[in-house]
Protein backbone atom coordinates (compact mmCIF):
# COMPACT_ATOMS: atom_id res chain seq x y z
CA UNK A 1 0.00 0.00 0.00
CA UNK A 2 1.37 3.42 -0.91
CA UNK A 3 -1.64 5.73 -0.68
CA UNK A 4 -4.38 6.16 1.92
CA UNK A 5 -7.33 8.54 1.78
CA UNK A 6 -8.43 10.18 5.02
CA UNK A 7 -12.14 10.94 4.63
CA UNK A 8 -12.12 14.41 6.18
CA UNK A 9 -11.58 18.08 5.42
CA UNK A 10 -10.39 18.73 8.98
CA UNK A 11 -6.74 19.88 8.79
CA UNK A 12 -5.99 18.80 12.38
CA UNK A 13 -6.93 15.20 11.57
CA UNK A 14 -4.91 15.22 8.34
CA UNK A 15 -1.77 16.47 10.09
CA UNK A 16 -2.14 13.85 12.81
CA UNK A 17 -2.53 10.93 10.40
CA UNK A 18 0.35 12.13 8.20
CA UNK A 19 2.65 12.10 11.21
CA UNK A 20 1.76 8.44 11.88
CA UNK A 21 1.80 7.04 8.34
CA UNK A 22 4.33 9.06 6.33
CA UNK A 23 7.34 7.57 8.16
CA UNK A 24 6.15 4.22 6.73
CA UNK A 25 6.38 5.60 3.18
CA UNK A 26 2.60 5.99 2.81
CA UNK A 27 1.10 9.10 1.25
CA UNK A 28 -1.96 10.44 3.08
CA UNK A 29 -4.55 12.26 0.93
CA UNK A 30 -7.61 14.09 2.21
CA UNK A 31 -10.92 15.37 0.87
CA UNK A 32 -9.27 18.78 0.53
CA UNK A 33 -7.59 17.38 -2.61
CA UNK A 34 -10.67 16.36 -4.62
CA UNK A 35 -14.43 16.71 -5.06
CA UNK A 36 -16.42 13.98 -3.28
CA UNK A 37 -20.11 13.39 -2.53
CA UNK A 38 -21.46 15.00 0.64
CA UNK A 39 -21.73 12.49 3.48
CA UNK A 40 -24.66 12.89 5.87
CA UNK A 41 -23.56 11.87 9.38
CA UNK A 42 -26.93 10.48 10.46
CA UNK A 43 -25.78 7.40 12.44
CA UNK A 44 -26.79 6.85 16.05
CA UNK A 45 -23.24 5.92 17.05
CA UNK A 46 -19.73 7.18 16.34
CA UNK A 47 -18.97 3.73 14.87
CA UNK A 48 -21.82 3.93 12.34
CA UNK A 49 -20.79 7.40 11.20
CA UNK A 50 -17.08 6.65 10.83
CA UNK A 51 -17.76 3.45 8.87
CA UNK A 52 -20.25 5.26 6.63
CA UNK A 53 -17.67 7.97 5.85
CA UNK A 54 -14.90 5.42 5.12
CA UNK A 55 -17.15 3.19 2.99
CA UNK A 56 -18.59 6.08 0.95
CA UNK A 57 -15.16 7.47 0.11
CA UNK A 58 -13.69 4.01 -0.61
CA UNK A 59 -16.58 3.29 -3.01
CA UNK A 60 -15.93 6.63 -4.70
CA UNK A 61 -12.11 6.50 -4.97
CA UNK A 62 -11.34 2.75 -4.92
CA UNK A 63 -8.39 3.52 -2.61
CA UNK A 64 -7.87 2.32 0.99
CA UNK A 65 -9.72 4.81 3.17
CA UNK A 66 -9.63 5.82 6.82
CA UNK A 67 -12.32 7.93 8.50
CA UNK A 68 -13.12 8.90 12.05
CA UNK A 69 -16.05 10.29 13.99
CA UNK A 70 -15.54 11.83 17.37
CA UNK A 71 -17.24 13.84 20.06
CA UNK A 72 -17.81 14.63 23.69
CA UNK A 73 -19.80 12.44 26.12
CA UNK A 74 -20.92 14.10 29.37
CA UNK A 75 -22.03 11.81 32.21
CA UNK A 76 -24.54 14.18 33.89
CA UNK A 77 -26.18 14.86 30.49
CA UNK A 78 -26.75 11.16 29.76
CA UNK A 79 -24.08 11.12 27.08
CA UNK A 80 -24.88 14.42 25.35
CA UNK A 81 -23.70 16.01 23.09
CA UNK A 82 -22.40 12.66 21.71
CA UNK A 83 -22.82 12.24 17.95
CA UNK A 84 -24.35 15.74 17.89
CA UNK A 85 -21.15 17.37 19.20
CA UNK A 86 -20.47 19.40 16.05
CA UNK A 87 -24.08 20.72 15.89
CA UNK A 88 -25.12 20.77 19.56
CA UNK A 89 -26.53 24.33 19.61
CA UNK A 90 -27.90 24.06 16.04
CA UNK A 91 -26.77 22.86 12.57
CA UNK A 92 -23.79 25.03 11.58
CA UNK A 93 -23.19 26.41 15.10
CA UNK A 94 -19.73 27.74 15.99
CA UNK A 95 -17.53 26.14 18.65
CA UNK A 96 -18.35 29.07 20.98
CA UNK A 97 -22.10 28.53 20.57
CA UNK A 98 -21.80 24.81 21.25
CA UNK A 99 -19.63 25.48 24.33
CA UNK A 100 -22.18 28.01 25.58
CA UNK A 101 -25.02 25.51 25.24
CA UNK A 102 -23.01 22.87 27.09
CA UNK A 103 -22.37 25.23 30.03
CA UNK A 104 -26.04 26.28 30.11
CA UNK A 105 -27.10 22.64 30.35
CA UNK A 106 -24.57 21.91 33.10
CA UNK A 107 -25.70 24.84 35.28
CA UNK A 108 -28.19 22.73 37.18
CA UNK A 109 -25.67 19.97 37.88
CA UNK A 110 -23.04 20.07 40.65
CA UNK A 111 -19.32 19.84 39.86
CA UNK A 112 -17.35 17.77 38.97
CA UNK A 113 -18.83 17.31 35.50
CA UNK A 114 -17.21 14.03 34.42
CA UNK A 115 -16.85 13.62 30.67
CA UNK A 116 -14.86 11.87 27.99
CA UNK A 117 -13.86 12.45 24.41
CA UNK A 118 -14.54 9.42 22.23
CA UNK A 119 -13.26 8.60 18.74
CA UNK A 120 -14.24 5.75 16.41
CA UNK A 121 -11.83 5.24 13.48
CA UNK A 122 -12.60 2.97 10.52
CA UNK A 123 -10.57 1.43 7.71
CA UNK A 124 -12.07 0.16 4.45
CA UNK A 125 -10.43 -1.41 1.36
CA UNK A 126 -11.63 -4.04 -1.13
CA UNK A 127 -10.98 -6.94 1.29
CA UNK A 128 -11.10 -5.44 4.77
CA UNK A 129 -13.34 -3.28 6.89
CA UNK A 130 -12.93 -2.62 10.62
CA UNK A 131 -13.47 -0.01 13.30
CA UNK A 132 -11.46 0.72 16.47
CA UNK A 133 -11.91 3.35 19.19
CA UNK A 134 -10.03 5.60 21.59
CA UNK A 135 -11.08 7.62 24.67
CA UNK A 136 -9.80 10.46 26.80
CA UNK A 137 -11.35 10.87 30.26
CA UNK A 138 -11.61 14.13 32.15
CA UNK A 139 -14.08 16.78 33.28
CA UNK A 140 -15.79 19.91 32.00
CA UNK A 141 -14.83 23.15 33.75
CA UNK A 142 -17.18 26.13 33.95
CA UNK A 143 -14.88 28.83 32.51
CA UNK A 144 -13.05 28.33 29.20
CA UNK A 145 -9.22 28.32 29.40
CA UNK A 146 -6.70 28.45 26.53
CA UNK A 147 -6.87 29.17 22.82
CA UNK A 148 -5.22 26.19 21.13
CA UNK A 149 -7.11 23.25 19.64
CA UNK A 150 -10.77 23.44 18.60
CA UNK A 151 -14.29 22.43 19.63
CA UNK A 152 -14.73 21.78 23.34
CA UNK A 153 -10.97 21.88 24.11
CA UNK A 154 -11.10 25.10 26.25
CA UNK A 155 -13.61 23.42 28.62
CA UNK A 156 -12.00 19.98 28.86
CA UNK A 157 -9.58 19.17 31.66
CA UNK A 158 -8.01 15.73 31.03
CA UNK A 159 -7.75 13.49 34.11
CA UNK A 160 -4.39 13.99 35.84
CA UNK A 161 -3.71 17.41 34.26
CA UNK A 162 -4.31 20.95 35.52
CA UNK A 163 -4.42 22.48 32.02
CA UNK A 164 -7.27 22.19 29.51
CA UNK A 165 -6.66 20.66 26.06
CA UNK A 166 -6.71 24.23 24.70
CA UNK A 167 -3.76 25.12 26.97
CA UNK A 168 -1.65 22.29 25.57
CA UNK A 169 0.51 22.29 22.44
CA UNK A 170 -0.61 20.15 19.49
CA UNK A 171 2.19 17.71 20.35
CA UNK A 172 1.02 17.37 23.97
CA UNK A 173 -2.61 16.87 22.94
CA UNK A 174 -1.64 14.30 20.30
CA UNK A 175 0.08 12.16 22.93
CA UNK A 176 -3.11 11.68 24.96
CA UNK A 177 -6.07 12.39 22.67
CA UNK A 178 -8.94 10.02 21.88
CA UNK A 179 -8.18 10.38 18.16
CA UNK A 180 -4.43 9.72 18.55
CA UNK A 181 -5.24 6.54 20.51
CA UNK A 182 -7.76 5.32 17.90
CA UNK A 183 -5.42 6.10 14.97
CA UNK A 184 -2.52 4.31 16.73
CA UNK A 185 -4.69 1.20 17.27
CA UNK A 186 -5.79 1.28 13.65
CA UNK A 187 -2.17 1.45 12.50
CA UNK A 188 -1.16 -1.47 14.74
CA UNK A 189 -4.00 -3.57 13.36
CA UNK A 190 -2.95 -2.85 9.76
CA UNK A 191 0.62 -3.86 10.61
CA UNK A 192 0.26 -6.80 13.04
CA UNK A 193 -3.02 -8.50 12.11
CA UNK A 194 -3.58 -7.67 8.46
CA UNK A 195 0.12 -7.33 7.47
CA UNK A 196 -0.87 -4.54 5.11
CA UNK A 197 1.96 -2.11 5.98
P1 LIG B 1 -15.06 15.42 9.58
O2 LIG B 1 -16.46 14.92 9.84
O3 LIG B 1 -14.89 16.11 8.24
O4 LIG B 1 -14.00 14.39 9.78
P5 LIG B 1 -15.45 17.18 11.89
O6 LIG B 1 -14.63 18.35 12.33
O7 LIG B 1 -16.92 17.38 11.65
O8 LIG B 1 -14.68 16.57 10.64
P9 LIG B 1 -16.14 15.11 13.87
O10 LIG B 1 -17.45 14.92 13.21
O11 LIG B 1 -15.33 13.92 14.15
O12 LIG B 1 -15.20 16.06 12.98
O13 LIG B 1 -16.19 15.96 15.23
C14 LIG B 1 -17.36 16.28 15.87
C15 LIG B 1 -17.23 17.37 16.89
O16 LIG B 1 -16.77 16.82 18.13
C17 LIG B 1 -16.26 18.51 16.58
O18 LIG B 1 -16.88 19.50 15.79
C19 LIG B 1 -15.97 19.04 17.99
O20 LIG B 1 -17.01 19.86 18.44
C21 LIG B 1 -15.98 17.75 18.83
N22 LIG B 1 -14.61 17.22 18.94
C23 LIG B 1 -14.12 16.09 18.38
N24 LIG B 1 -12.82 15.92 18.69
C25 LIG B 1 -12.48 16.97 19.46
C26 LIG B 1 -11.28 17.39 20.06
O27 LIG B 1 -10.14 16.71 19.91
N28 LIG B 1 -11.28 18.52 20.77
C29 LIG B 1 -12.40 19.24 20.91
N30 LIG B 1 -13.58 18.94 20.36
C31 LIG B 1 -13.62 17.81 19.63
Q: What is the pLDDT of residue 181?
A: 97
Q: Is residue 88 part of a domain?
A: yes
For residue 86, report the distance from its CA to the centre of ligand 1, in Å: 6
DSSP class of residue 110 equals P
Domain count, the chain: 1
Residues 14-33 pLDDT 10s: 988 898 899 989 999 999 99
Q: What is the pLDDT of residue 159?
A: 98
Where are the alpha helices (H) located in 2-145, listed in sequence order? 11-21, 46-61, 95-106
Q: Is residue 168 part of a domain?
A: yes
Q: By percentage, how much of the chain surpasses pLDDT 90?
A: 86
Q: Is residue 197 part of a domain?
A: no
Q: What is the pLDDT of residue 193?
A: 87
Question: Which residue's alpha carbon is nearest to atom 22 within ligand 1?
Answer: 71
Return d(Cα 56, Cα 67) in angstroms, integer: 10
Residues 105-109: what's their mean pLDDT?
98
Q: Is residue 19 part of a domain?
A: yes
Q: What is the pLDDT of residue 19?
A: 87
Q: Is residue 113 part of a domain?
A: yes
Q: What is the pLDDT of residue 144?
A: 98
For residue 92, report the distance from its CA to the centre of ligand 1, in Å: 13
Given a cut of 80, whether residue 173 has pLDDT beyond it is yes
Given a cut of 80, whether residue 1 has pLDDT beyond it is no
Residue 4 CB burial class (10 angstroms; 0-12, 13-18, ≥19): buried
Work out the mean pLDDT of the chain and round it to a whole number.
95
Q: Which atom of ligand 1 is nearest to the CA of 86?
A: 18
Question: Which residue's alpha carbon is nearest to atom 6 within ligand 1?
Answer: 10
- Residue 153 catalytic? no
Q: What is the pLDDT of residue 20?
A: 87
Q: What is the pLDDT of residue 196?
A: 86
Q: What is the pLDDT of residue 34?
A: 85
**Domain containing residue 75: CATH number:** 3.90.950.10
Residues 112-166 pLDDT 10s: 999 999 999 999 999 999 999 999 999 999 999 999 989 999 999 999 999 999 9
Structural domain for 181, as ranges = 2-192
Return d(Cα 53, Cα 66) in angstroms, integer: 8
Q: Which helix (H) or strand (E) holds 3?
A: strand 3-6
Half-sphere exposure of 9 (CA within 13 A, CB side): 8
Return d(Cα 33, Cα 131) in angstroms, integer: 24
Q: What is the pLDDT of residue 137?
A: 98
Amino acid sequence: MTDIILATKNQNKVRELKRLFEPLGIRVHSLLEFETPEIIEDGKTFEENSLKKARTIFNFTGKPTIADDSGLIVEQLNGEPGVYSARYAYEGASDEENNKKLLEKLKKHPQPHFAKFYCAASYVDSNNSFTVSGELEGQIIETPRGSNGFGYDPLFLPEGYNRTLAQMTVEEKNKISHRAKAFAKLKEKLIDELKLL
